[in-house]
A and B are shown apart, each in its own frame.
Chain A
Amino acid sequence: MRPSSTLNLSNTIHWLPGQAFVVQVLDLPQELADEELLSTVELAVESASPLPIEHLAWGWYPDESARQILVYMSTRERCLDALQEFDTAAHVYPAFLSLINAPSVEATCRIILTAVDLSAAYFQTGARLPDAIKSIRHTEALPDQFNQTEISEAQLQIIRASFEKLQTAATKAGLPKLESNLYYLAESAIELDHSIQITLARIDLASGTCETLPAQWIRGHNVYHADLRDQAFLDNRRREDRIADGLWTALMTSAYTAAGILLLFLINWIGIFIIRHTESTIDAQAPAVHRVEEKESLLAGIELFSTSALQPFKALEIMNAERPDSVYFQNMRAGAERENAQENFFLRLKGIASSAAEADNFANRIRGNALFSTVELSDLRSQNNRTDFNLFVRIPANASESIENGGTP
Chain B
Amino acid sequence: MRPYFNQLSLREKILLSAFIWVLIGIFATMALKQSGQHWKQWQSARNTKQVQALILAREANYDARFALITQRFDSQYTLDETELRNRLEAICKEVGVDYTLTSGTPKQEGNFSLFEVVVYLNRVEMPGLLAFYNGTLESAPYMRLDALTLSPGGNTPEMLSAKFVFKSFEMETQPTRF
Contact = CB atoms under 8 A, between A and B. Distances in A.
Interface residues of A, number: 79
Interface stretch (A55-63, A100-108, A199-207, A254-262): A254-262
Interface in B23-49: 24, 27-28, 31-32, 34-35, 38-39, 41-42, 45-46, 48-49
A296 B62 contact: yes
A200 B31 CA distance: 53
B11 A6 contact: yes
Contact of A250 (B17, B42, B151, B152): B17
A308 B28 CA distance: 62
A298 B49 CA distance: 23
Given A275-B45, A298-B109, A303-B69, A330 B152 contact: yes
Contacts of B20: 251, 254, 258
A316 B148 contact: yes
Of the candidates B42, B55, B77, B147, the one having the most CB atoms from chain A within 10 angstroms of its own CB is B55
Contact of A289 (B52, B108, B133): B52
A84 interface: no
B147 A282 contact: no
Given A313-B133, A409-B138, A409-B140, A302 B69 contact: yes
B17 A251 contact: yes
Majority SS at the chain B contact face: helix
A409 B168 CA distance: 13
B139 interface: yes
Interface in B81-130: 107-110, 112, 114, 126, 129-130
A281 B56 CA distance: 13
A305 B65 CA distance: 13
B157 A330 contact: yes
A311 B137 CA distance: 10
A331 B159 CA distance: 11
B149 A403 contact: no
B174 interface: no
A313 B148 contact: yes
Contacts of B52: 282, 285-286, 289
A288 B56 contact: yes
Interface of B: 2-3, 5-7, 9-11, 13-14, 16-17, 20-21, 24, 27-28, 31-32, 34-35, 38-39, 41-42, 45-46, 48-49, 52, 55-56, 58-59, 62, 65-66, 69, 71-74, 77, 107-110, 112, 114, 126, 129-130, 133, 136-152, 157-158, 160, 167, 169, 178
28 contacts: A192-B2, A240-B10, A244-B10, A247-B16, A254-B21, A258-B24, A261-B24, A261-B31, A271-B42, A275-B38, A279-B45, A289-B56, A293-B55, A297-B107, A298-B107, A302-B66, A304-B144, A306-B69, A309-B141, A311-B145, A317-B133, A320-B126, A330-B150, A332-B149, A334-B149, A406-B74, A407-B141, A409-B77
